[in-house]
Amino acid sequence: MIFTTTGSIEGYQISEYLGLVSQSIVIGTNIFSDWLASIADIVGGQSKTYQKQLDHLYEIVIEDLKKKAILIGARAIVGLKVDFDELSGGNKSMFMMNAIGTAVKIKRILTETPEPETTRAVLDVDDFNQRFHTIRIKEMISLEEMLGDEDIQYIIRNRIKGCEDFFLKALTRNVYGLDSDNWQRLFHEYLESFPDEEKTKIIYSNIPLYPSLWDLFLSILKEYNLVDIEYVMNCIQYGSHSEKQSAFNILMIPKKSFNKNDITVYKDVIRQIQHFIPYNYEQSEKISGDRWICSCDKKNYYPDVYCNRCGKDLYGFNSKEINPKEIIDSLELTISIIESYFQ
């Protein structure tokens, strides 16, 4: 996470302000000795031990502030202010450190890559070193060798394509001594450097390869409003039950923008859902009145729509899942909004 005392971060654009976060710590005399502080005042200098304790206190309050910011989805804290006060009374002293800043989401500012020259007379040393370093890092990744912190930052800073597998493997393994939150942060920073089209390809191509990272992938798709209808249609037609559920979650994400063609597209999606995931009318009509029979042969009573034995409805979905009726209702509302806008 990035901390800065200023209101902006060089190379980044603030995409969302999440509000103020603050943290305070009070330390008693068992940590800081009164006599030690007094000696520093008398001598007119600064005790090294005293300064060391202050530094440690600063690290604690900043780490706690960071945890608070991460919990609300922040990627940085701007306008950071830290102050230190001594509280005294009853011949006892206590020390309080306060930290406050604004939690924000940030996006890396992409610099335009100059058009390549049709003919190149020379290869300067900077360009050579970059190409050399890029090739070396890709070779290390392919051989699954350990990368240093500088190598990882180099990948992110220089937008090296084809390195997403490195971050995703690290997220599924306990490597480099970093926890999952840190690897997710690094993967986000890596993705930020690419346009939405490239982000879409990276995420959707890796969903089948890393099913354990579905929650992470879905959060990224929601963050950037990345909806791939072709992927969704394929899941609805040929996917497993869990893949159909993934498709429904994706369909709940609004696109970044809509056009008239989306009316036809979403109507096609509804037809596909109705065809490939039909309502089980045969089971629903086995017993009329206030009763219905689940595919597991359990008799259930309306208004219960989920089976008391297997927990599924007549679409085959449980109460924790998005069922076809919910997604069709959502898509029909989306279509209605688009139609009314382009009238």
Rounded percentage of the chain residues whose pLDDT exceeds 70 = 81
Q: In the structure, what pLDDT confidence band is assigned to residue 40 with cuts at 50, 70 and 90?
A: very low
What confidence tens digit (pLDDT) does each residue in 294-317 have? 878 888 887 888 888 898 887 888
269 burial level (CB within 10 Å; 0-12, 13-18, 19+): buried
What confidence tens digit (pLDDT) does each residue in 9-39 have? 877 888 888 888 998 887 665 544 544 444 4
Give the per-residue pLDDT at 68. Answer: 86
Give the per-residue pLDDT at 65. Answer: 86
- Per-residue pLDDT, averaged over 243-270, amounts to 94
pLDDT at 43 over 50: no
Distance of CA 238 to the CA centre of its chain: 28
Pairing between β-strand 2-3 and β-strand 76-89 as defined by DSSP bridges: parallel
Alpha-carbon dihedral of residues 40, 46, 49, 50, nearest 10 degrees? Answer: 70
Q: Whose CA is closest to 111, among 51, 193, 46?
A: 193
Average pLDDT value over all residues in the chain = 82
Alpha carbons 94 and 320: distance in angstroms, whole number: 51
- Per-residue pLDDT, averaged over 157-176, amounts to 83
Q: In the structure, what pLDDT confidence band is assigned to residue 338 with cuts at 50, 70 and 90?
A: very high
Q: How far apart are the first and last CA of the chain?
A: 46
pLDDT at 203 over 90: yes
Q: Whose CA is closest to 81, among 52, 56, 101?
A: 101
What confidence tens digit (pLDDT) does each residue in 262-279 have? 999 999 999 999 888 766
Give the per-residue pLDDT at 28. Answer: 63
Q: Any idea which architecture 2-107 has in CATH?
A: 2-Layer Sandwich (3.30)
Alpha-carbon dihedral of residues 239, 242, 246, 252, nearest 10 degrees? Answer: 110
pLDDT at 184 over 80: yes
Give the per-residue pLDDT at 173. Answer: 78
Decide: 291 and 307 in contact? Cβ < 8 Å. Answer: no
Give the per-residue pLDDT at 199. Answer: 93
Say which residue, 95 or 268, is predicted with more confidence. Answer: 268
Q: Of the given ranges (74-83, 91-100, 142-151, 269-278), which has the lowest mean pLDDT?
A: 91-100
What confidence tens digit (pLDDT) does each residue in 113-132 have? 555 555 667 888 878 888 88
Give the per-residue pLDDT at 42. Answer: 42
